[in-house]
Amino acid sequence: MANTTHEAAETATEAVGHAAEAAGHAAESAGMPQLDFATFPNQIFWLVVALIVIYFILSRIALPRIGGILADRQGTITNDIAAAEELKLKAEEAEKAYNQALVDARAEANKIIAEARAAIQEDLDAATAKADAEIAAKAAESAKRIEEIRAHAVENVAEVAKSAAAEIVAAFGGKADASAVTAAVDTRLKG
């Protein structure tokens, strides 16, 4: 049994020794492993390898794609600017054509108005001439009728004067000679 106790004590001592050794290692490696100077050459090697791999990935794959995208965008922007300039020129031409069409339409409208005024003036002049001719014809007809009325009035006055003179002479007790009464009335009417 003593042997067993002794073996047990040795095992316990070894366990305590291993625990102390583990605690010592734990105390030594309690800091960050990246800052352990013993691992610096290994870390520097893998850092250089990682940077070289990243450089080749970026330079061979990512940067050409980004450059292509940037070139495509620049090309698109340049094409859009050129298209916008072209559309601007077309819009300016369309505006000039619109303004010219507007000027032409106004000129045409003024021409139509002038023609309409001329046609209306011609119709007015023709209507005025026709009215003047009708008025002149009616005035001539009226003048002719007035002359006829005057002539009849003079004849009627002469007849009335002759009959009145014959009656006046008869009222005074004389006999009137028709030729003498006619001569006396004609002389008096003339002047």
The predicted-structure confidence for 83-137, as pLDDT tens digits, reads as follows 999 999 999 999 999 999 999 999 999 999 999 999 999 999 999 999 999 999 9
Q: Which of 31-40, 73-82, 98-107, 166-175 has the lowest mean pLDDT?
A: 166-175
- Whole-angstrom distance, CA of residue 187 vs CA of residue 159: 14
- Whole-angstrom distance, CA of residue 55 vs CA of residue 71: 22
pLDDT for 17 beyond 70 = no
**What's the pLDDT at 152?**
83
**What's the pLDDT at 3?**
63
pLDDT for 74 beyond 80 = yes
Render 52-110 in DSSP notation, one character per residue.
HHHHHHIIIIIHHHHHHHHHHHHHHHHHHHHHHHHHHHHHHHHHHHHHHHHHHHHHHHH
- Whole-angstrom distance, CA of residue 189 vs CA of residue 161: 10
pLDDT cut 70: percent of the chain above it: 86
The answer to whether the pTM exceeds 0.75 is: no
Phi-psi region at 173: left, alpha or beta (left = phi > 0; alpha = psi -120 to 50)? left
Contacts 24+ apart (CB under 8 A), 2-7: none
- Assign 15 a pLDDT band (cuts: 50, 70, 90): low
